[in-house]
Structure 1
């Protein structure tokens, strides 16, 4: 129940109102039981109460229970909405390095499994509160009937609670194991989706992956799910039987030690039988709330929070300020001074350290980054673009250090297409004036006008080949029209003709427009398209040389 108290702290007044109304409903239900008990006793004497009063109390019980549940239904749906929206906002404002460490599969599991688990528990809150109110009202009535018997009942309830909580600890451990195995299963489903082509080509590998990986993990998920669900099923039915056991004690044991009025015995028996349904609902809610507690802890382990506050949602990293919307000052230079970045490479079981890097990139330059696989080219690109926060050293824009407070504004200088890029169907965040016509002109330049249309800022399709989707990403970068373009092996998926277009025409056009281009590339035959070529090895700059631009001069002379 930890997560319930945490989530409801923002809505104390609403919850208090619902509980008060629910208590009124519970009192009305208890009064109904008392009236039934009293009238059953009085029937022998032919002296029954007014049916109109009974109907009035019935109407009160109905109205109070309905109003209380409706309040909590609307509240639980509101909490669920804010939970989903705020979780998305937290994922969006996670530092990229942290999101990459967490991994896509774990974030997917959190958004699908954990939020769904908490949402399911939230939807149980109305029923929980109404049944709790009914139970409290009935216990108060029992206290009026016989304080002594109520004390015996409380002692019996304490023993029953202990018999529930002790074995429940084993079920909670099984829940935690289930959640851990679910993470692994989502990761393997992701691997199955990403590696479908490789598995299709190798029957033995496909069969082994299915039997030894998928089936084995799914089996562990099933076993841990069976473990906690079986325990809770036993505990739920055990709790229900305990109430009938108390009724048996009330009827067969208690009269031997204390003289009890028939009305008291009948009242207790009726109330206990009446409470079986509400208490059964309470017991059935416990597994959902325990699962929500496990999800709550799991989310916190990722550096996220189950946040349901109604305040404005921030998409900024901690300490960062939103751009003021004013036009960016012209860029003169970007300088890296002793910049370092470190992260752990699991496959190599070692810490990879980028830097220290000392580098100056001037406005209007075309700079190529080259080097072997794993040399740190993409990492350096992300450091330059402000996506990664350096562990040490300084990143300077026109001589001024880029701090956490203005890092978001600094990023607005860049348009980037990384090797693991994504193209959104909607062209968002750009002025809508003439957007479609501008997009059409770039589609023609990128030779995609026969494949893709842009209507009201929406791409007709993104289901294209990898090279064509990269051209779509370049379309978005053109529309953004920012001072710096960062390309991470953009031309690697292009056919020879369009690769030539990229290096010999598109990059020179960007330079002519005063844009700065940072391109990660292995295409050494086109290195003459750059002003400088920087070579990295194991996270360090090994060399920096001026490119031989004779090929570019030939292109220029042909164009003339």
Structure 2
């Protein structure tokens, strides 16, 4: 799908209005040339003709300027809309899609692809007006001298052929440059995410910089230079051929009497008048191709179609009693090209209970949490809330049952907006005391004002935000891992009972075996297989680890 089709579909009426005024400006431009030829060039011009000429030029200026401004407004409005829609599509995508696409590719599209579309729209008036004006000038040349027009058309065809070859090469290298940008964004992430490790190991830093980042940056530079070279070649080729056309017109008129010198002057002036718009159109065409590459990159993200709303109107019963996973399985790619799979598992959560999930690293605990929360759609099996089966139609409503603090949590500065309910300052103050953050975390109007907190303190604030959401299910993925031993004990012995008393169903991933006795049930994950300790075995394991 081209940019013209997208913008026409989205802004049909303003786009057609712009085309109308562009045609009008082209017609007025031809009128200016015709007036010069008929009234000024051949004599007979009086004061009235001068005023008429000035008025005609004024009309041409107004129509051309209005059409370009109108198209620019449409383009920038469309870019803003596309940018917002892309962010919304990312927000609407499930966790599996975002993970498969990769953060680097999404960031590259948000930064580079939207930028290239914006540049394309700024050049779109040049392309549209240049092509339309060239068509209008060609008709005028046919009326003046068909033979001279044939020569001019031949020169234009030569210009277009050479420009087309240059533009194809430009397009090839620009597409390779765009692919290289995704790789560079991954390297940028490595520099930021692995900054501490690169600082500690300068040999690793040197190897990464010299063998990974620099070669990729050089490849992008090489592609960009070649793309720019062919872009400039297309522009200068067009300028040269247009000047050659003017020379050919005068030569054929003066030495072969194809036309009078007055007509030759008019034809040459028309060709020179075409030169600016046509050169601008040729220069804009590669930019349009770049925008096509950007559109293809956006399509490769495979994000869901844009939806304007955030709520689909479906809802699940707030007073649910059981949540069941029935033969649920899930498979996703893992490192090294291998795959990791959750074997078909069955799990029932009863409202109000506290469940611990234990298991070694890489056993599938976090994957199960993502499937349970509806962030990863199961590959097979069913999820039921009481008697309601979770499908694609109500999956968004199902996610609204959960609040979570994952290991890679993000702490939003605004704690209370968007909670779906009113949150009192007193409730926030009570939770700050429970989390031992009163006097450390400064919160006003539901917004965190100080960000200089430790990772453990930020995680406590993330728990505060999750608790304020008032959801019935709370997932805590290794929440206590970043806490000091004293507060870790506070979490298990005070906060978990408080959450249970407040009505939360807690699903906690934990390695803290000395606190297993605080769970109502203990689940175990091993190589993607879920099992549950029986009542007596759970008591024995909890008692053994509590000593």
- Is the 2:513–2:542 contact (alpha carbons within 8 Å) kept by the matching residues of 1? no
SS at match of 2:113: helix
* C-alpha distance after superposition, 1:455-509 (max 9, x if no partner): 2232113442211111111111111121111000000000111100111111111
Matched, 1:492 2:487: no
Against the structure 1 CA distance between its residues 344 and 454, is the aligned structure 2 distance closer, same or farther, given a 3 Å change threshold? same
Paired residue for 1:17?
17
- Counterpart CA distance in 2 for 1:168 and 1:210 is 34
Q: Tell me which of 390, 394, 412 is aligned to 1:424.
A: 412
- Residues 322 and 423 (structure 1), Cα distance of their counterparts in 2 relative to 1, 3 Å cut: farther
Q: How far apart are residue 136 of structure 1 and its match? A: 3.3
Equivalent positions of 1:342-491 (< 5 A) are: 342-345=331-334, 347-427=335-415, 428-430=417-419, 433-491=422-480
SS of equivalent residue, structure 2 residue 408: coil
CA separation of 1:7 and 1:24: change in aligned 2, threshold 3 A = closer
1:188 aligned to 2:187? yes
Q: Which residue pairs with 2:265 in the alignment?
A: 266
Change (3 A) 1:21 1:305: farther
Q: Show CA shifts across 1:188-235 (max 9, x none).
A: 010100000001111111122222222111111101101111111111
Residue 511 of structure 2 aligns to a residue in which SS?
coil
Conservation of the 8 A alpha-carbon contact between 2:93 and 2:304:
no
1:121–1:288 contact (8 Å) kept in structure 2: yes
Cα displacement (A) at 1:260: 0.9
CA apart distance, 1:155: 3.1
State the TM-score, normalizing by the size of structure 2.
Answer: 0.93
Structure 1 range deviating more: 32-41 or 459-468: 32-41
1:147 aligns with: 146
Separation in 2, partners of 1:302, 1:296: 10
Q: Does residue 29 of structure 1 match 2:18?
A: no
The correspondence for 2:525, drawn from 536, 539, 553, is 536
Change (3 A) 1:478 1:275: same
- Corresponding position: 1:126 with 2:138: no
Q: Which residue number in structure 2 is paired with residue 212 of structure 1?
A: 211
Q: Residues 348 and 543 (structure 1 numbering): CA distance in 2 closer, same or farther, change over 3 Å?
A: farther
Residue 516 (structure 2) pairs with residue 548 (structure 1) = no
| Cα distance between partner residues in 2 of 1:340 and 1:19 | 55
Please name the residue that 1:176 is paired with: 175
Equivalent pair of 1:336/1:395 in contact (CA under 8 Å): yes
Question: 1:3 deviation in Å?
Answer: 2.5
Q: CA–CA distance in 1 between the matches of 2:49 and 2:40?
A: 13
The 8 Å contact of residues 345 and 530 in structure 2, kept in 1 or not, is answered as yes
SS in 2 for 1:242: helix
CA deviations on 1:125-147 (whole Å, 9 max, x unpaired) are 23333334433333332222123
How far off is 1:328 after superposition?
Answer: 3.9
CA contact (8 A) 1:109 1:186 kept: yes
Distance 1:513 1:9 in 2: 52
Deviates more, 1:535-544 or 1:178-187: 535-544
Residue 545 and residue 216 in structure 1: after superposition, are their counterparts in 2 closer, same or farther (change >3 A)?
farther
Q: Give me the whole-angstrom Cα distance separating, in 2, the residues matched to 1:385 and 1:26.
A: 60
CA contact (8 A) 2:174 2:227 kept: yes
RMSD: 2.4
Change (3 A) 1:374 1:100: same
TM-score normalised according to structure 1 size? 0.91
Return the alpha-carbon distance in structure 2 between the equivalents of residues 379 and 48 of structure 1: 85
Distance across 2 between alignment mates of 1:183 and 1:550 = 49
Contact 2:363 2:525 in 1 (8 A): yes
Contact kept in structure 1, 2:420 and 2:469, CA below 8 Å: no
Say which SS state the counterpart of residue 345 (structure 2) adopts: strand
Paired residues of 1:440 and 1:454 also in contact (CA < 8 A)? no
For residues 146 and 297 of structure 2, what CA distance do their matches in structure 1 show?
Answer: 45
Is 2:308 aligned against 1:313? yes
Q: Find the counterpart in structure 2 of residue 526 from structure 1.
A: 515
Q: 1:437 to 1:111 in 2, by over 3 A?
A: same
Query: What CA distance in whole angstroms lies between the structure 2 residues aligned with 1:211 and 1:90?
Result: 36
33-42 or 366-375: which moved more?
A: 33-42
Secondary structure of 1:423 counterpart: coil
Secondary structure at 2:357's aligned position in 1?
Answer: strand
Alpha-carbon shift at residue 338 of structure 1 (Å): 0.5
Aligned to 1:197: 196
Report if the CA contact (8 A) 1:432-1:457 is conserved.
no
Unaligned runs of 5+ in 1: 556-560
CA contact (8 A) 1:38 1:263 kept: no
Give, in whole Å, the separation in 1 of the partners of 2:67 and 2:388: 58
CA contact (8 A) 1:39 1:48 kept: no
Q: Take 1:56 and 1:293, find their aligned partners in 2: how far apart are those partners?
A: 40
Q: CA shift at 1:152, angstroms?
A: 3.2
* 3-state SS of paired residue (2:394): helix
- The aligned residue for residue 558 of structure 1 is none
Alignment of 1:40-59 (within 5 A): 40-43=40-43, 50-59=49-58
The CA distance in 2 between the partners of 1:444 and 1:468, in whole Å, is 13
**Stretch moving more, 442-451 or 130-139:** 130-139
- Structure 1 residue 452 displacement after superposition: 2.0
Q: Which residue does 1:509 correspond to in 2?
A: 498
Is the partner of 2:42 in helix, strand or coil?
helix
Structure 2 vs 1, CA of residues 374 and 206 (structure 1 numbering), >3 Å: closer, same or farther? same
Question: Partners of 2:489 and 2:499 in 1: how far apart?
Answer: 15
Q: CA shift at 1:334, angstroms?
A: 1.0
Q: Structure 2 CA distance, aligned partners of 1:433 and 1:391? A: 37
Q: Deviations over 1:432-468 (max 9, x none)?
A: 7453332222122211222222222321134422111
Gaps of 5+ in 2: none
